């Protein structure tokens, strides 16, 4: 299966990153190199692009696709949560721009063997990094009822969690749940018909399990802070989010880092000495227009937030 991933809000991202031809840029989730290819088109042979991805297959595809560009390239097989450590290992102190696309790639969703999609039957997997052993199978079949309930509430915000968990526990007591279709059937049998039709609960449960398997929210805020610290003055940081949990983390941190005083409003004078380290390039998140949504339905939930380093 060919690795295809339509880069969402590509033109907006390239415009807002304000790319310097000889700069240092980081794509924290290079995937199929859709965004990175557009970045490379703006870079000279003196520039450097650093590409992270924990999916080795994606990283190998991006190496091939970016080979035609003259800029220097560094490919790192790692989760971007190791951002600070990996940049230090490669002797990079400051960067001019960073992009994080927090979505699952179209290739991962469409490849039923990876187990991300509830639209196709496949083994319960959901590992972005295929070198890891821990998968969705382990979560569904080995987590205690309490832990399953916790992740479905916290990562899926699923209102029918109790019923779904009860049925998962009941079914796995008979035989292991090993495919995405089996899980979908259990979820559908646990919710009202209206919810079953629009697949709301299925989407939320799959999201929750995927987040747990890949540790998507673990340390996200600290990594965002590390990225902000690494920016040169005038450097920009763009983040694409796809669900409320990650967007809330990004939004709140960007708001904090763009605020001069964070004292209690009841205090007569500022005692925190907090200085804004960034400016919000866009006050409200940028979303896909109707044309892009029609061409790529997965762009519908995307939100783009961009900041610029000022201190």
Domain termination residue (choose one: 175, 193, 214): 214
What six digits make up the tokens of 85?
A: 């450590």
Task: Give yes or no: residues 243 and 197 share one domain.
Answer: no
Say whether both 282 and 203 belong to one domain. Answer: no
CATH of the domain at 266: 3.40.50.150
Model pTM score:
0.91
- Whether 54 maps to a domain, the answer reads yes
Residue 132 is assigned to a structural domain of this protein? no
Q: What is the CATH number of the domain that holds 181?
A: 1.10.150.170
Tell me whether residue 122 is in a domain: no
**One domain for residues 247 and 283:** yes
Quote the pLDDT of residue 167: 98
Query: Where a domain ends, among 163, 193, 214?
Result: 214
54 & 180 share domain: no
Q: Is residue 179 domain-shared with residue 51, that is, in the same domain?
A: no
pLDDT at position 5, please?
65
Q: What is the pLDDT along the chain (311 residues), one digit of tens a residue?
A: 555 668 999 999 999 999 999 999 999 999 999 999 999 999 999 999 999 999 999 999 999 999 999 999 999 999 999 999 999 999 999 999 999 999 887 777 778 889 999 998 999 999 999 999 999 999 999 999 999 999 999 999 999 999 999 999 999 999 999 999 999 999 999 999 988 888 999 999 999 999 999 999 999 999 999 999 999 999 999 999 999 999 999 999 999 999 998 888 888 888 888 899 999 999 999 999 999 999 999 899 999 999 999 99
Q: Is residue 109 part of a domain?
A: no
Q: Is residue 115 domain-resident? A: no
For 183, the domain range is 137-214
Could you tell me if 193 and 44 lie in one domain?
Answer: no
Are 206 and 251 in the same domain? no
Structural domains counted in the chain? 2
Least Cα distance to 122 among 111, 131, 132 occurs for 111
Confidence at residue 6, expressed as pLDDT on a 0 to 100 scale? 83
Domain end: 214, 240, 273, which one? 214
Residues 244 and 275 in one domain: yes
Same domain, 208 and 228: no
Q: Quick one: 18 and 94 in the same domain?
A: yes
237 and 186, same structural domain?
A: no
Residue 56 inside a domain? The answer is: yes
Q: Which long-range contacts (CB under 8 A, 24 or more apart) does 179-183 make?
A: 179/121, 179/122, 179/123, 179/124, 180/112, 180/115, 180/117, 180/118, 180/120, 180/121, 180/122, 180/123, 180/124, 180/206, 181/121, 182/124, 183/118, 183/124, 183/140
Residue 198 domain-assigned?
yes
CA atoms of 173 and 164, how far apart (whole Å): 14
Determine, yes or no, domain membership for 192: yes
Residues 249 and 301 reside in one and the same domain: yes
């Amino acid at each position: 299966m060919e690795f295809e991933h339509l880069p969402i809000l590509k033109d907006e991202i390239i415009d807002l990153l304000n790319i310097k031809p000889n700069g240092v840029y980081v794509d924290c989730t290079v995937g199929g190199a859709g965004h990175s290819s557009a970045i490379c088109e703006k870079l000279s042979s003196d520039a450097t692009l650093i590409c992270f991805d924990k999916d080795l297959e994606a990283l190998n595809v991006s190496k091939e696709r970016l080979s035609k560009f003259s800029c220097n390239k560094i490919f790192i097989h790692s989760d971007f949560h190791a951002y600070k450590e990996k940049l230090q290992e490669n002797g990079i102190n400051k960067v001019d721009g960073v992009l994080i696309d927090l979505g699952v790639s179209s290739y991962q969703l469409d490849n039923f063997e990876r187990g991300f999609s509830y639209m196709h039957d496949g083994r319960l997997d959901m590992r972005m990094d295929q070198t890891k052993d821990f998968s969705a199978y382990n979560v569904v079949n080995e987590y205690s009822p309490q832990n399953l309930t916790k992740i479905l509430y916290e990562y899926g915000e699923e209102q029918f969690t109790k019923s779904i968990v009860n049925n998962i526990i009941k079914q796995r007591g008979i035989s292991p749940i090993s495919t995405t279709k089996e899980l979908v059937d259990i979820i559908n049998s646990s919710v009202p018909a209206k919810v079953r039709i629009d697949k709301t609960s299925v989407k939320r449960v799959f999201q929750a399990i995927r987040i747990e398997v890949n540790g998507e929210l673990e340390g996200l805020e600290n990594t965002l802070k590390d990225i902000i610290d690494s920016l040169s003055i005038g450097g920009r940081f763009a983040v694409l989010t796809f669900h409320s949990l990650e967007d809330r983390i990004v939004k709140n941190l960007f708001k904090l880092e763009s605020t001069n005083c964070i004292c209690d409003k009841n205090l007569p004078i500022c005692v925190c000495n907090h200085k804004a380290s960034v400016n919000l390039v866009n006050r409200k998140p940028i979303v896909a227009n109707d044309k892009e949504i029609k061409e790529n339905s997965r762009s519908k939930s995307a939100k783009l937030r961009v900041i610029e380093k000022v201190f």
